[in-house]
Amino acid sequence: MNEKFRFYSDRNFLYRYRVQKDDYRETLANAVIPNPLTPFKDELFSSWIARLSAKFDCQVSTFLNIYFPFLRDKRLTARDMDLVLDSELAEIFSQKTRISKTIIYNTGLKSYESYLSETIRDNSRNNLISTVKIKGSYSKSYGLKYCPYCLRENNYFKKQWRLLFVNVCEKHNCYLLDRCPSCNNPITITKRKKGIKFFNCPFCGFEFHKAENEKVSSQSKAVENQKKMLEILNNGYFIFENKPYYSIFYFWTVKKLAKLIYLDEYRRNDILQTEIELHNYPLKSKKEIKSRFIEDFLEVKEGISLFTAIYDILKDRESFDKFVKDNNLSFYILNTFKEGSDYNPPYWYIDLISNYQVGINNQIVTEEMIRNAVKWMQKNGIRVSLRNLAKWTGIDFCSNKKAKVLKKIVEDNKT
């Protein structure tokens, strides 16, 4: 009898405790987060969330479950949250922290839309964004990079470290690291050993800022060329033969050349070979490559050589022409693309390769392409008009089959 009574008493206590706990959770779920940390200007979303969680001495998953229980269906810690963050989620985090929605949205990779690519998706690979595969809240791929010297100065991860063509630290002139120097596991920042103030490896506890890293050779053009590519991305346009063009065209072409060089082994290029020798790290052979998606597996030193060379190839028409001739590239190879709107070549690229065949057919211009170009113009304070759109995209509206539809999109957004 006493046993039963004792059991009932314990159950009653637990029941009362559970009610109190649920009330407390409900209060936190509806409360504004006190004294939140403001993201750094160039900080990555997952880095900010990790720092915010550490402030309250809990793991990211616990922090989100307590303050954002209504987001459980989003499974943020089981996905690449830097890709998942959209305008709607940014608004939710803004309301809970009283930090500007724009500031929060700009920590996510979707903020690169209309600059790096027309669309950034959270459920698939994205051009020139390193892949981070999550399993059980831990990263299983080497898609997140960092500079230990930057972490020593400010304890946060930069958004640009997720870009495939960013592989060196311009400030400290060193290679970026893409794995724990102690145990060689991929970098995971949404998990950490508790009781350690700084970002650390959840597997071995190594504090990432304590790593030492190799400096880039002073003879390499890597730092200089990477800086110029980032300028194109941040400005949203590039200049070619004294004409401005939409930055999406540039990065579409960068990805096309990366596939030709890395996957198809068209590697006759002086800058490429010089960089490979300087970094003492050859590109993988075709037999060693098991996937067509270079975002999944391109290593840091491979990326340095590859994109340093690509920037040099695209600096002017003469350099591009030399690359084509040195590798005996036919027009068919240059003009071969996968089906689908995402793979429609930009007019600037078609013009670039037009010398290799006379009488090229007009390429497809999608409505999505025009809408994204209009969105980019509005975001950058450029007057929306057919004349300006033609100037920045190189599209000849008169010769396009969908001219009426495309013109209507522009007219509806005209300023």
pLDDT in tens, 3-49: 333 333 344 333 443 445 556 677 777 788 888 999 999 999 999 99
pLDDT reading at 93 higher than 80: yes
State residue 388's pLDDT score: 73
pLDDT reading at 119 higher than 80: yes
Bigger pLDDT: 111 vs 351: 111
Bigger pLDDT: 373 vs 60: 60
Q: What is the pLDDT of residues 140-168, one digit of tens each?
A: 999 999 999 999 999 999 999 999 999 99
pLDDT band at 379; cut points 50, 70, 90: confident
Prediction pTM value: 0.82
Six token digits for residue 411: 């007219």
pLDDT band at 355; cut points 50, 70, 90: confident
Q: Are the CB atoms for 134 and 79 separated by under 8 Å? A: yes
What are the domain boundaries of the chain? Answer: 1-30, 45-210, 222-346, 367-412
State residue 246's pLDDT score: 92
pLDDT band at 180; cut points 50, 70, 90: very high
The Cα–Cα gap between 227 and 402 comes to 38
Lowest mean pLDDT among 137-141, 219-223, 362-366, 400-404: 362-366
Bigger pLDDT: 220 vs 136: 220
Q: Are the CB atoms for 132 and 143 separated by under 8 Å? A: yes
Mean pLDDT of the chain: 86
Rounding to the nearest 10 degrees, give the CA dihedral for residues 28, 34, 39, 44: -20
Bigger pLDDT: 185 vs 394: 185
- DSSP one-letter code for 255: H
Beta bridge partners of residue 168, listed in sequence order? 175
State residue 339's pLDDT score: 45
Six token digits for residue 115: 């600059």
